[in-house]
Every structure is written in structure tokens, then in C-alpha cells.
Amino acid sequence: MTSKPWHGPRWPEGVPYEVSGYDRPLSVLLDETAQECPNHTYTMFQDSARSFAQVKDTADRLANFLASRGVGKGDRVAIFLPNLPHYPEIFFGVLKAGGVCVTCNPLYTTGELKFQLKDSGAKAVFVMDHPLFYPNAAKAAQDTQVETVVICNIKSYLPAVKAFLGGLLGKIPKADKHEPGHLMYDDVVKKARPQPPAVQIDPARDLAAILYTGGTTGVPKGAALTHSNIMYDLTAAGEWIRLTPKEGGSPQRLAKGVHTYLGVLPWYHSFGLTLCMLAAAERAGRMVCIPDPRAGKPPFTDTIAAIPKYKVDLMIAVPTIYSAFINHPLTDNYDLTSLLACGSGAAPLPAEVVKQFEAKTGAVIFEGWGLTETSPVVCTNPTNTVTRKIGSVGPPLPGCEVKVVDLDQGTQELPLGSDGELAVCGPQVMAGYWGRPDADAEVFREIDGRRFFLTGDIGHLDEDGFVVITDRKKDLILVGGFNAYPREIEEVLYTHPKVAQAAVVGVADAHTGEAVKAFIQLKPGVEATEEEIIAFCKENLAGYKRPRYVEFRTELPTSVVGKVLRRVLRDEERAKQKA
């Protein structure tokens, strides 16, 4: 690769400009680690550990089972589970059978899941034995191509005493009844042989997963990701993440078999899937399964308590989780200093949150950026406090390129420092949207003879070639002809000592076209007025950027990964105005 603007003094020491060796089937991650570190713990769930050797054995059995049920190369299998220890076993089992994993949010309604099952043409589905999840899946599977439903109960994955007491007291989740013909996970694993079928995978062409976007702009679309797409992101991140030893010296790559990951982000989302579940497999890391991040009283207590309990040192999360940690009334009761490094993405990371979280933990937070369609990481900040740049999302990963293009056609490259739409070209960019050539035509452009993906994000490259996200293309607020960027306004609101969460949207205004409205979630135990917030903004923002309206909420709407949903707030405002 020729020299790029980001290949300057801030490029991390020892990180190459290009990476190779990612054209491999994803299943080798588990096979190689199970061979090298068979007895190391992979999943930790309710104090019950599963080693890499055990997970591989189960994955091999599931591959054997799926092959016996007619699942072969290219066939889709849906995983409708929260973060349970079954998840990596099923994911790798599907890959070993030659199948494609379709990851589904277990909180989806019957209709939402049915759409994904029909759209993907899934032949099988794995679902948790649960009074809500299982009935939804059973109904959703009707009138689709699903031929096999496997029910996953957690009892056998609990320590013996907990399983006994849970069964005795009726505390282990279970559906009221199971449909005839549906199979139990434990029975399937027990009966199958640990002999996966022989399948030839072309990593650059064959799909590993279909992950559906949130549908914020219409019908959800399935991002079709190849083995190489995801493997590249893991390889590049493995080169990029380098931590400075406490005793000093040069930054080092993450050692194999020594780190503990907190599985707090859902694995049905690309962020948690790639950077936690699969990264832990690649690095032989222990992974703490967190099915419900909000568990405990008050919410998030159990998640925070897991850090000192399991000596968690690596965490991949979203800004709302970091904000929940620093504003939690019981945080000071827990020693969080085992944390070494924390990645953040999926939403803007306020500088004030970084400051407070690092002060509490001593860890370093590095913000990155990417999309489901990019497996997901495109850029990330250096993983140290010296060369990272708070307010940016860092440079592109090795071997990846970002261009800033015009907002109208997405074909004209803009000069350094100019805001435009961010376009990405790299090995992590999806093959395309599943069965949607029309959608592909909207987002792919050929620039300088190379295929670029239009991300829908507005930003620019700064003087160091670091990417600065200004905002989502569709979130831009036009106030009297001026561009007001919600992220910039939210950054200011986060510096107010009473604000825990903030979101900004545009609302219709007869005089200026649009006006800024701020939605505020206050920190526990404090009160504030609309006038107080507006006065604060007057001191810190230009006139057209200042919120004209402020609304206080007990909590703000968030996506499955904790990203504050401006879209929901904007739709609510439009509905009010129509009424």
C-alpha cells in the first residue's frame, strides 16, 4: 500500500501497514486454540467453566448433527439466543457443517424473527428454552423453510448445586410446553459423534454469517459476511491492540491464554461477535457470559460485580454501558482496577465519559468505528493514552482505506479536512446485502478502480489522517441554513455535571426550518430545569446549535447494543406534531 495520511507519527509502534493470512475458514480459530490450549477456559457462566477442548467437541458433534439433518455448504442456520455458553458451540458447529450463521436478537417478536427466517431461508434454528423466546421462535418458524428446531436449556451448563437448587425451586427458565418434533440440545449433542463433515471452504467467497441491520431506514437487510471478511477484522485488530506493560517497555500484542473478556455486548451483533466471542477464541481468552447486562438491583449491578469476581481485564462495550458504570450508585463498592483496556464503538463516546471511567478504573479506552457491513471495525484509536485522539475514531486498520466523498453522488473525493460521506474499501467490507442487488447499487461505488462502500456517516480526515465522525447523514439538523451536528451538541451536554445521557434531534420550526431539541437523562438523585440546561448551552454553543427545547426522560431509548436511538425520539416528535 502506498503511503497514506494516517501513516504518520501517530501510527502505533510495531503495527504493519498491511496484514495477511486472513483468507482462512473461521472454524480454524477454535480448532487451533483447542489444540494449543485444550484445557484453558473459554466460556464462564454462573461459575461453570467450559474449556476450549469441550467447546470444540460439542461444535464437532453439532456439525455432525446438522449434516445428518441435511444442512450443508451454504445453508443458513439461525441462532436465537442471548449470550449463553451454547452460543460459540453452535456458531462454530454451523461453520464446521459448511453452513452460514444467521444471528437473531432473542427479544424480537414473532413477526420480526419470521421476517429474518424467511428472508434468509434458514433451514434450522437454535433457541433458548424460555417462556418468551421459545414460543416466539416456534411460531416464527411456521410457514418458513425451517425444518429443525433445537431447544437450549441452561441447566446442564450450571454448576451441579445451582442446577439442582434451580430445578428444585423452579428458577431455571423453561417454556411451558415444547412442540412435537422439536429437539433438545443436550440430547442432540449426546447422540451425535464428534466428527464434522469434510467441507471445502473458499474463505474469500463463502459466507460465514448473515447479520441483519437494524432497519432504521426501512426493511432490515442482511449483511452477508464471508469468512475472510471477519477473519481480516480479527487479524487486523490483533495487530493493532498493543498494550504497554506495567513495568514499562514497548507496547505488546495481547498474549495468548492470559486475558479475560467480559461478554457484555450481544453476540448476535457484529461488535460483540467479532471483538469478544471470536477474539477470545483467537487469543485463547476466558470469556464471561453476560446474558442480560442490566441484571441486578439497581440495573447493571451484576455486570459490574463480574469484573472483580473474574478479574476481567478486557471489555468491549458501548458508551451507554461506560456511562452506566460511572453513574452507578454502587460502583465504588467494587474494585474495577483489573481492567486494562476497553474498546468503545457503535455510538459517539463523550470525552467526559472517558475521563471519568479511566479515573475510576485506570484502564485505557480506545474508541473505534465501523458498521455491521464492515465486520464491523474500520477504524480504531491507538490503544494508549499518548497517541490516541479523543474526539476521533482513529485511523483505518492496516490494509483498509477510507475516503471522504461528496454527499450527493458519493463519487468525488474531497480534500483533507473537508466534511463529506465516509466511504470504505477493505477486506472487511461485506460481499453485499443478502438477496438485495438493489440495495447494493445504492451503497457501492467504484472509485479509482476499487470498490468502496458508502457508510452513511459524515466526517473528515484530520491532519494526522485520523477519522473524525461528524454525524450520521440522516441525523444532520438544518437550522436556518446552518448544519447543526447532534454529536457536537451532545458532547457539550455530557460535560454538564447533572447529565448522565443526552440525545439531540431536529424538530420542525416555522422560522428556521428545524430547531434543536435535547432529551436528557439526569444522574441519579439530581434535579434540573429546562432553563438551566439552555443557559448552560448558551455559554458553550453557537446560537444555531443551542437546544430550543429540552425534555427530561427517566431513560432514553436504546438499540440492542445500547446505542441511543435518535430515530425513535425523532419519530415521536413527528407524531406529536402531526397530532
DSSP secondary structure code for residue 493 in this structure: H
Shared domain for 324 and 430, answered yes or no, is yes
Compute φ and ψ for 417, nearest 5 degrees.
95, -10
Q: Position of cell 462495550?
A: 317
Does 337 fall in a domain? yes
CATH number at residue 132: 3.40.50.980
Same domain flag for 106 and 120 = yes
* pLDDT confidence tier of residue 563, bands split at 50, 70 and 90: confident
C-alpha gyration radius of the chain:
24
- Please give the mean pLDDT across all residues of the chain: 92
208, part of any domain:
no
All three cell numbers of 508, joined, read 420542525
Please report whether residue 330 resides in a domain: yes
Mean per-residue pLDDT for 213-230? 80
Sequence-distant (≥ 6) Cβ neighbours of residue 564 within 8 angstroms? 320, 347, 501, 503, 556, 557, 558
> Is residue 486 domain-shared with residue 561, that is, in the same domain?
yes
Write down how long the chain is.
579
- Pairing between strand 286-289 and 260-263? parallel
State the pLDDT at residue 165.
64
Show which of 430, 448, 470 is a domain's final residue.
Answer: 470
Q: Are 209 and 219 in contact (CB under 8 A)?
A: no
132, 178: one domain: yes
Asked if residue 283 and residue 189 are part of one domain, the reply reads no
DSSP bridge pairs for 262: 288, 315
Backbone angles phi, psi at 452, to 5 degrees: -115, 145
Whether 454 is in a domain gets the answer yes
Q: What's the pTM?
A: 0.86
CB atoms within 10 A of CB 107: 15
Q: Are residues 83 and 152 in the same domain?
A: yes
- 240 falls within a domain: yes
Q: How confident is the model at residue 310 (pLDDT cuts 50, 70, 90)?
A: very high
Q: How confident is the model at residue 514 (pLDDT cuts 50, 70, 90)?
A: confident
**Which CATH number does the domain housing residue 336 bear?**
3.40.50.12780
Q: What is the pLDDT of residues 231-269, one digit of tens each?
A: 999 999 999 999 987 777 888 999 999 999 999 999 999
Q: Are 437 and 484 part of one and the same domain?
A: no
Shared domain check, 91 and 64: yes
What backbone phi and psi angles, to 5 degrees, belong to 462?
A: -85, -170
Q: Residue 32: name the closest of 257, 315, 251, 233 by CA.
A: 257
Largest CA distance in the chain: 71
Residues 466 and 493 both lie in one domain: no
The torsion of the CA quartet 162, 167, 169, 174, rounded to 10 degrees, works out to 120
Whether 407 and 481 map to the same domain: the answer is no
**Structural domain boundaries, residue 437:** 224-470
> Which three-class secondary structure state does DSSP give residue 96?
helix
Among candidate residues 437, 470, 503, the one where a domain is terminated: 470
pLDDT above 70 (res 555):
yes
Considering the domain boundaries, does residue 44 fall inside one?
Answer: no
C-alpha cell at position 231: 477473519
Rounded distance between C-alpha atoms, residue 413 and residue 421, angstroms? 9
Answer yes or no: do 264 and 374 share one domain. Answer: yes
Q: Give me the amino acid identity at 388.
A: R
CA distance 549 to 160: 56
Of 200, 234, 251, the residue at which a domain comes to its end is 200
Pairing of the two strands 444-447 and 242-243: unpaired
Which of the residue ranges 208-217, 286-295, 337-346 would you say has the lowest mean pLDDT? 208-217
Within 13 Å of residue 482, how many CA atoms lie on the same side as its CB? 13
Task: Tally the domains of the chain.
Answer: 3
Task: Determine, yes or no, domain membership for 15.
Answer: no
d(CA 376, CA 534): 37
Evaluate whether residue 452 is within a structural domain: yes
| pLDDT(214) > 80 | no
548 with 422, same domain: the answer is: no
Percentage, residues of the chain above pLDDT 90: 78
